[in-house]
Amino acid sequence: MADFLDKMRDLLKPYRRGTAPLEIRRAILDEVQSRIVTAGVGKRLFPYNRIKIHILADTPQEREELETIVHEAWDLKADIAERLRDQEAKAPADLDVEIAVTEEPDPAFTDRRFRLELQKAESVQAAPAARPILDLTVLKGTASQHVYTFEGQDRINLGRLEEVFDAEERVRRRNDVIFLEEGDISATVSREQARLAWDDEIKAYRLRAEPGASVTRILRDGRTIEVSPQDRRGIKVQNGDEIYLGRACIKATVRVD
């Protein structure tokens, strides 16, 4: 019966056996969703708090490429939590997701490129980790300060001018990193350019671009990452990231005292 159900799922969702990274990611999320259980009227649960995802690569080169993608481009823990919320099934508070890419075939893969190990582990109550301190250093453009330091702030607004007013002269936004109306570079920063929002699940800030603002990008290890206003979640900020707001630039330094 289980084999029959698997065959039916594959007919309805052929990407379950896909080899492209996006197909693998989508199939993983569908597999997690399939493990949601119903516990009474209107109550849906995901009974596991430990997920180990094994991904099969055909060659050493493909393994290296997949490892780069899953660790730098994907955020499966957040994606899984979002998928569970969409299905009205709350993610466990202590959800842990581990990803391993291997070239070693295993019968457990069957004819798919991934397999999951799901476990319900006892929660260990750990002391809450201290939130890191974020320093933002202005590299290009003219701002009210050269270095801004934030400790424990949930949201940090980035833009031009200290206050932004609506059509009726009411304050609609106050910027925390304030570029001045001085020079050609600072003029490329929108008044409501972007924001940094603390994400308690990943214990890091995410950069979100504001709709209608100048282009927002991250330069990381020589690679440019576009930050789209359509991305609701935003891009995780890492230590050493250079954040471009128009042509202005600030550098993020994450530290723990």
The CATH code of the domain that includes 48 is 3.30.2320.60
Q: Is 225 exposed, middle or buried (0-12, 13-18, 19+ CB in 10 A)?
A: middle
Domain's final residue, options 84, 119, 154 = 119
Is 125 part of a structural domain of the chain?
no
Per-residue pLDDT reduced to its tens digit, 221-248: 999 999 999 988 899 999 999 999 999 9
b/e per residue, 125-160, with b = 16+ CB within 10 A?
Answer: eeeeeebbebbbbbebbbbeeeebebeeeeebbbbb
Q: Where residue 257 falls among pLDDT bands split at 50, 70, 90?
A: confident
243 neighbors 250 (Cβ within 8 angstroms): yes
* Same domain flag for 172 and 142: yes
Q: How many CA atoms lie within 13 A of 25 on its CB side?
A: 17
| pLDDT at residue 11 greater than cutoff 60 | no
**Residue 43 maps to a domain:** yes
Can you give the pTM of this predicted structure?
A: 0.53
**What is the CATH number for 212?**
2.60.200.20
* Model confidence at 112: pLDDT above 90: no
Helix (H) or strand (E) holding 53: strand 50-56
Domain membership flag for residue 115: yes
Classify residue 69: in a domain, yes or no. Answer: yes
pLDDT confidence tier of residue 127, bands split at 50, 70 and 90: low
Q: For residues 187 and 181, is the Cβ–Cβ distance under 8 A?
A: yes
Q: Residue 248 belongs to what domain range? A: 133-255
Same domain, 144 and 251: yes
Which residue blocks in the chain are alpha helix, DSSP H?
2-12, 21-34, 60-68, 76-86, 183-186
The answer to whether the beta carbons of residues 114 and 28 sit under 8 Å apart is: yes
Percent of the chain with pLDDT over 90: 58
Among 64, 94, 119, give the residue marking a domain's end: 119
Torsion, Cα 46 73 56 36, to 10 degrees, reads 10
- 36 in a structural domain: yes
**Count: domains in the chain:** 2
In a domain, 126, yes or no: no
Distance, in Å, from the CA atom of 192 to the CA atom of 98, rounded to the nearest integer, reads 37
Regarding whether 94 and 141 lie in a shared domain, the answer is no
Decide if pLDDT at 9 tops 60: no
What is the rounded average pLDDT of the residues 8-20?
Answer: 49
Q: Considering the chain, what is the average pLDDT of its residues?
A: 87
Cα gap 255→187, rounded to integer Å:
30
